Structure 1
């Protein structure tokens, strides 16, 4: 593994470019393949990058623009459907949990850094087949082309094609029963509160929003939906119908929620929420998976992007320090699995607490939530946010943590 070996990286979202940058640093030759025919820097909504994820971006030297353009997360302020304030989690004086940024910004800064370092990114490469020999991996794409490398890193998301090909018996993504939607609006009437995200338990659905200094509003909502909808299913419903449904959903909720929805000029984004609580195998032969492709987490904990960034960092260190791919992949899984599965469970629990609509459940939630929020503010989430990785430390041997 001392000679330059080629890493085939499937997917160019968050995990793919991050993995490419770190494995290049570890002494490998990465190439990234993306199924989309062009980069869409206007797609998607926004996400949270926890301070654990920001440390990884700082290691890569790309955290500056996210901090400059993002919204610091310090306080979550909760209200009931009647407008009653229920309590806060966090304080304005505390260290930020991280930043909220447009998804496209995070994708772009990682991709541009990879390109700046000369890492090839090939578009329109929809994976259809993977072959493995004793010493090579060959990937085949829908356009008839193929590529050969020494190992493969699957970074192609929750519905990973590479995982379905090479781990056909892997646990499938689990629908949480909720869909997420949201968008961007502007208002001169809403006063910006730096560091504060507003969370409202609406009469029929949960709603969250923040107001930036320039008056731009980031907002999202969640609602129950039966079955197992895909994003394609949601997009098959006309945008005008969704807008009417969402407007009606929040019609009787306190100001400024109805006004925020009304002021949203662009289409409202829609996404079903899936996660994967556990996967017994994260690697197969000369292939390994990271990020949502192997441990998808719901957005409620705000850790999906950060976990993918951590994965890329730790995997590259394992590849650098272990003497063969199988040992490196096994060590990577051992070092990461307990942490990420804890966060997946935590995020699912947070999501379930948001969505009580039965009047009896709502009564007891609003009665008990102020006490719960006080307790939560005193409890430390340092186990999640203060995770640190040092590039200069060698990967611990078996028996060490």
Structure 2
């Protein structure tokens, strides 16, 4: 069995450029193929990069570009709709704070860093199919077919093409589809709210009808997000058929009875910065991460809802770990080792986020029960050691991976 020398990375979002940079560090030449004809500077809302995500990026020397655009978020302060403080969650004291970033800024930073390192990215290449090369029981490579009629070949194909991954379906035609969490996601920036800085803390609130989070920075800017229960899922395209002002009106109506400064924030929201993400989704478990010379990474393999706060960080972890495995093992053995190292961790985080979503989307009766139990639950959970398993995860890049 021969060492992997070349890779096709399908998807140029977050996981794709990180995977390509990690593969380059592992001595594997990677080329990224992106379906869209241009870059995606204006797609997505706010998210957090956790210490474990920064640690993964540090392995490949890409952490500083994220620190440069991220704003520190050292704790999360939870409130009820009455304004009562329920709990404060802080990461372990020996770890750096999370970073709040806008997804377009994160995308641009990672894309730019990959370009600076000479990683080739080809746009307008939408994958439609892929096939193995060589003997059926011992494939030697992969050929990818794109919608424009072009093809590409390499030793392996890596699907970093998101929650609606084409590569996932090629690997397993019966692969599960995304699951709607019952929530629509929105985000934006506000200026001139008159609110005092929250320091490094993100304030979050279980409202009577919806969930809200915000952080006021020392310069007066306020980054915010809202999760609204909605019976039917909406794609990004469907959500953006409704005008921004109409969405803001609907969001304000959802928080009209809550005793937190949500309305002050929404009234001063900058229209050009408003983002309607659409339905929040996850996939509890993807049965097959790889087949032959094809493998999944990021949301294609383990899509967690935004409620986890770990989506981008897990994508970075998996991209780096996959490259480490391919550095040390033949493709098929590397994929088995990669899945062994990653599956339990990511599915545990997906499950935890699903429990959070159920609280956010609680109906009138469930909301009463939730509000009664939350203070006790928060006291038990709001301890740094409870969150350490998520935040202190590190990839041992120098140590060789064994089968």
Contact 1:62 1:109 in 2 (8 A): no
Which residue number in structure 2 is paired with residue 320 of structure 1? 327
- Distance in 2 (CA, whole Å) between partners of 1:94 and 1:331 is 30
Pair 1:161–1:92, CA change in 2 (3 A): closer
Pair 1:255–1:346, CA change in 2 (3 A): closer
Give the stretch that moved more between structures: 275-284 or 64-73: 64-73
Runs of at least 5 residues in structure 1 that lack an aligned partner in the other structure: none
Q: Deviations over 1:254-297 (max 9, x none)?
A: 34211211211224322211111112210012100011001100
Runs of at least 5 residues in structure 2 that lack an aligned partner in the other structure: 135-139
**1:207 matches 2:182:** no
Q: Select which of 228, 231, 239 maps to 2:236.
A: 231
Deviation, 1:93, is: 6.4
Q: Deviations over 1:197-240 (max 9, x none)?
A: 11112221111111122222111111221234322332233434
State the TM-score, normalized to the length of structure 1.
0.92
Which residue number in structure 2 is paired with residue 98 of structure 1? 98
Count residues with an aligned counterpart: 395
Contact 2:4 2:156 in 1 (8 A): no
Q: Which has the higher contact order (CA 8 A, sep 6+)?
A: 2
Which residue number in structure 2 is paired with residue 304 of structure 1? 311
Contact 2:82 2:260 in 1 (8 A): no
Which residue number in structure 2 is paired with residue 159 of structure 1? 164
- Distance in 2 (CA, whole Å) between partners of 1:4 and 1:364 is 54
- Distance in 1 (CA, whole Å) between partners of 2:155 and 2:117 is 21
Q: Select which of 147, 172, 177 maps to 2:177.
A: 172
- Distance in 1 (CA, whole Å) between partners of 2:142 and 2:197 is 52
Pair 1:257–1:92, CA change in 2 (3 A): farther
Alignment root-mean-square deviation, CA: 2.0
Q: What does 1:1-400 correspond to in 2, within 5 Å?
A: 5-90=5-90, 95-134=95-134, 135-187=140-192, 189-264=194-269, 265-266=271-272, 267-322=274-329, 324-358=330-364, 360-378=365-383, 379-397=385-403
- Distance in 1 (CA, whole Å) between partners of 2:92 and 2:328 is 41
Give the stretch that moved more between structures: 143-152 or 300-309: 143-152
Deviation, 1:364, is: 3.7
Q: Deviations over 1:23-43 (max 9, x none)?
A: 111121100011111113233
Secondary structure class of the residue paired with 2:327? helix
Pair 1:5–1:87, CA change in 2 (3 A): closer
- Distance in 2 (CA, whole Å) between partners of 1:123 and 1:247 is 39
- Distance in 1 (CA, whole Å) between partners of 2:91 and 2:4 is 49
Contact 1:86 1:366 in 2 (8 A): no
Deviation, 1:318, is: 0.9
- Distance in 2 (CA, whole Å) between partners of 1:4 and 1:226 is 46
Secondary structure class of the residue paired with 1:381? helix
